[in-house]
Amino acid sequence: MGSIKSSLFISLDGVIESPETWHFDYFNDEMGAVVGTLMSEADATLLGRQTYDEFVSYWPNADPDEPITAQMNGARKYVVSNTLTDATWENSSIISGDVAAELTTLKQDTRLSTTGSATLVRWMLEQGLVDELHLLMHPVVVGSGKKLFADGAKVPLDLVSSTTFKTGVLYLVYAPAAR
C-alpha cells in the first residue's frame, strides 16, 4: 500500500520559502532523525517544478562524499509539471496532464514523499491526495515570504502526533480529517 507524505519546514508565521536562511539554527539530531526516517520510508520523491529546478541545480554537483548526495541523486523522483519537457536529473520522470489521476494510481503501490514543493502540497491537500502532512514548525517569525497556506480551499485535518524538540521546533503530523 502506497501513500503520499508531505514534509515542510515552516515558521510560526507560516513561511516555507528559503528555509536555508532561517532553519539551520534549529537543526539538531532530533530533526535529522525525522528527516532521515521520512526519506528512508519513501520509495520515491515527489517534487513540484520550482523545487525540482532548485534541487537539480545543486544535487547533481554536490559533494559525492556526503551520504545524502548519493541518496538524493539515486532516489526515484517524480516531477509534477505541465511545462517541464525534459527531466535531466538521474532517475527523474515527469507527471503531467491529469495529475490527480496519475498520483492516485502511483500512490496505490508507491510510498511517495514530498520535500518543499509548497504549491504542489497545497494543491494535493485540496485534492485529498496527501495521507500525512509533516510540519517542522520553527520558533521564528520570518516576516515575509511564500506561505504554505496563503489562499485556497478549506482542508480539515486531524492532529496525529506532536513532539517538541529541544530547540523549540514543533514536529506536527496531520492526516485528513475523519469527519
Question: Tens of pLDDT along 49-105?
Answer: 999 999 999 999 999 898 888 888 999 999 999 999 999 999 999 999 999 999 999
Q: Which domain holds residue 75?
A: 3-176
CB-CB neighbours of 87 under 10 Å:
18
CB-CB neighbours of 7 under 10 Å:
22
pLDDT at 130: 97
- What's the whole-model pTM score? 0.92
pLDDT at 154: 87
d(CA 89, CA 74): 10
18-38 pLDDT, tens digit per residue, is 888 899 999 999 999 998 898
Residue 42 has pLDDT above 70, yes or no: yes
Could you tell me which of 111, 120, 98 has the C-alpha nearest to residue 50?
Answer: 120
Could you tell me which of 66, 47, 63 has the C-alpha nearest to residue 55?
Answer: 47
Count of domains for the chain: 1
CATH number at residue 113: 3.40.430.10
d(CA 116, CA 126): 17
